[in-house]
Amino acid sequence: MDALERRSSPKRPPWSPGTHTPEPKHVALPGVIPLRPLDSRHPRSPQRGLESTPWSVGTDLPAPVHARPLRSLTMSIDTGPSPNGRASDTWHRSWTHLSVDRRSSGYCRVTFDHPPINTITATTVAELAELVALIEHDPALRVLVFDTANPDFYLAHYDTEHDPARTAALGLGPTGMHAWLDFLVRLSRAPVVSIASIRGRARGAGSEFVLACDMRFASRENATLGQFEVATGVIPGGGPMARLSRLMGRGRALEVLLVGDDLDGPRAEQYGYVNRTVADGELDAEVEAIAVRLARFDPEAIARAKSYVDRVTLPHDSEFPPPLVDFFELLGRPAQQAQVARLEALGLNTDSDLERSLGRRVVDSLPDQ
């Protein structure tokens, strides 16, 4: 985008719950099917066309969850183009669990970097919530790539840091859902293309994250995906039941969710967990080529094409909150707290043999029958 075009491009107005945008008037032309009006929540996306109203979580979530907006979502964010044509300085703020490289006006790369194993914590969720707000307000952005600074761990899983209430109390986002679900849903429906470049292990919430991305490319030799939660006496809280069943069918989704073992890159590709695998030495260049290509395309065309695929493939928002309620309830049981303690004694949340072989070794934490 040249300087003149940037100066003339209108800034996308911020969205807030309840905002009303008047529907545009349409003129019928013979033989022409009119386009649907744009959704007021995402100015580049056609309306979702959902018949039901958004699912209310205010009365059904456990007591620790408070219906208050995230601080990071209520802050004033200046996302207008900067003089160098890349992005405002807000993108380049100091992040804690990730780094951001705005490579061009249309392309941004986000790298997870939270030693020792890239666990997801309440801090990670708050930063991702701020990131998705930047994405939604940036009219120049076309594509976002997520990779890892740790070749052994993409996103290990969620770590409550011995304080589940801290995660529960993160609050609700603009969708009315808990912060983690809100981020995942908004990432999936954002008018830009999100790509997970997977090297290392992505389990639990890490798997939930990559499933929310639009495309997933994985290292053939060095990628591991899985949902191990059922083996620990809880269920996944970030919606993989809704997403996996659509990607790979009921039987394979149940295998992933109930057996709880790891899938390597080739098996993940076979099941439809990822778009495809790429030789480890070629993964970065392959994803970079795709991103650079997409960054040159018209953002309206990308957003509109993506929105129509979203309408027929993404789960309804109402499918996400109930499993998270179950997750908090099951995690609070004494038996599950005892099993978490046993996992920690074996090396959970550290760079250990348990974490490197979690799908196989999670059964070591089960009580004797």
The three-point CA angle 18-21-26 to 5° equals 145
Q: What is the pLDDT of residues 312-322, one digit of tens each?
A: 999 999 999 99
Instruction: Give pLDDT, residue 72.
Output: 37
CA atoms within 13 A on the CB side of 53: 4
Bridge partner list, 277: 218
Q: Which residue has the tokens 């890349």?
A: 86
Where helices occur in the chain by DSSP H, the ranges are: 3-8, 71-74, 122-136, 164-168, 179-189, 205-212, 240-248, 250-254, 265-271, 283-295, 299-313, 321-331, 334-346, 353-356, 358-361
**Residue partners of 143: CB distance under 8 A and separation at least 6:** 106, 107, 108, 192, 193, 194, 195, 291, 294, 295
pLDDT beneath 50, residues of the chain: 1-43, 45-87
Q: Contact at 8 Å (CB) between 277 and 219? A: yes
Q: What is the pLDDT of residues 231-283, one digit of tens each?
A: 999 999 999 999 999 999 999 999 999 999 999 999 999 999 999 999 999 99
Instruction: Give pLDDT, residue 167.
Output: 84
pTM of structure: 0.79
**Residue partners of 238: CB distance under 8 A and separation at least 6:** 180, 181, 184, 205, 208, 209, 212, 320, 323, 324
Instruction: Give pLDDT, residue 44.
Output: 52
Q: Measured between alpha carbons, how far is residue 354 from residues 10, 37, 130, 198, 369 in Å?
A: 51, 51, 32, 20, 21
Q: How far apart are CA 229 and CA 102, in angstroms?
A: 35
Q: Which residue has the tokens 């589940």?
A: 164
Q: What percentage of the chain exceeds 90 in pLDDT?
A: 71
Three-state SS for 302? helix
Instruction: Give pLDDT, residue 93.
Output: 77
Say whether the peptide bond before residue 22 is cis (omega within 30 degrees of 0): no
Q: How far apart are CA 108 and CA 139, in angstroms?
A: 13
Instruction: Give pLDDT, residue 257.
Output: 98
Q: How far apart are CA 187 and CA 135, in angstroms?
A: 9
Considering only CA atoms, which of 205, 192, 198, 355 is closest in space to residue 269? 198
Instruction: Give pLDDT, residue 315.
Output: 97
Instruction: Give pLDDT, residue 89.
Output: 62
What's the longest Cα–Cα distance across the chain? 73
